[in-house]
A and B are shown apart, each in its own frame.
Chain A
Amino acid sequence: MGESRRARLILGTLLTVALIILTVDHRTGEGSPFQPVRTAGAWLFGGAEQVVGTVGRPVSDFLHAVASAPSAQNDIKRLRAENSRLRAGLDANRLDAARSAQLKRMLGLAGRGGYKVVSANVIARRGAPGFEDAVQLDAGTDDGVRPEMTVLNGDGLVGRVIQASRSTSTAVLISDRASAAGARLEGGEEIGVVHGVGENGRLVQFRLLDSTAPMTRGGRIVSFGSQRGAPYVPGVPIGVIERVEATPGELTRVAFARPYADLTALDVVGVVVGAPARDPRDAVLPQRGRKEGAR
Chain B
Amino acid sequence: MMAVLIVLVTVLVQVIVVNRLGLPGGAAPDLVLLAVVGVAMARGPVAGTVIGFCAGLLVDVVPPTAHLLGQYAFVLALVGYLAGRGVGSPVTTVIVCVLIAPLLAAGLGGLISDPRVTVATLTEQIPLTIVYTLIASPVVMWLNGRGGQLRYAA
Contacts and interface: CB of A to CB of B under 8 A. Distances in A.
Interface of A: 3-4, 6-8, 10-11, 14-15, 17-23, 25-26, 32, 34, 37-38, 40-42, 45-46, 48-49, 52-53, 56, 59-60, 63-64, 67-68, 70-71, 122-132, 134-136, 162-163, 165, 168, 170-172, 176-178, 197-202, 264-265
Interface stretch (B70-78, B87-95, B137-145): B70-78
Contact of A177 (B50, B77, B106, B115): B115
Contact of A170 (B46, B63, B124): B63
A45 to B, nearest CB: 4
Contact of A49 (B15, B25, B108, B112): B15
29 contacts: A7-B81, A11-B81, A14-B73, A17-B73, A19-B74, A21-B73, A22-B70, A26-B68, A49-B12, A53-B16, A60-B20, A67-B23, A68-B21, A68-B22, A125-B20, A126-B64, A128-B18, A128-B19, A128-B27, A128-B129, A130-B105, A136-B63, A163-B63, A170-B66, A177-B115, A200-B25, A201-B26, A202-B26, A264-B22
A26 to B, nearest CB: 5
Contact of B61 (A37, A70, A168, A201): A37
A235 to B, nearest CB: 26
Nearest to B125: A198
Contacts of B108: 22
A7 B85 contact: yes
A95 B136 CA distance: 29
Given A127-B28, A128-B29, A198-B124, A49 B16 contact: yes
Interface string B28-45: 111011000000000011
Nearest to B120: A198
Contacts of A165: 63
Interface residues of B, number: 63
B4 interface: no
B154 to A, nearest CB: 23
A134 B65 CA distance: 7
Nearest to A124: B15
Interface of B: 12, 14-30, 32-33, 44-46, 49-50, 53, 56, 59, 61-74, 77-78, 81, 84-85, 101, 105-106, 108-109, 112, 114-118, 120-121, 124-125, 129
A199 B26 contact: yes
B142 to A, nearest CB: 20
A125 B74 contact: no
A262 B130 CA distance: 25
Given A128-B14, A200-B26, A64 B20 contact: yes
Nearest to A177: B116
Contact of B72 (A25, A41, A129, A172): A129
Contacts of B118: 177, 198
A54 B116 CA distance: 31
Nearest to B25: A200
Contacts of A126: 15, 19, 64-66
A37 B69 contact: yes
A22 B73 CA distance: 9
Task: Please name the 6 residue pairs, one residue from A and one from B, whose CB atoms are nearest each other, closest first.
Answer: A200-B26, A41-B61, A22-B70, A21-B70, A7-B45, A18-B74
B21 A67 contact: yes
A42 B109 CA distance: 22
B46 A130 contact: no
Nearest to A201: B26
B128 to A, nearest CB: 9
Given A129-B30, A170-B65, A45 B85 contact: no
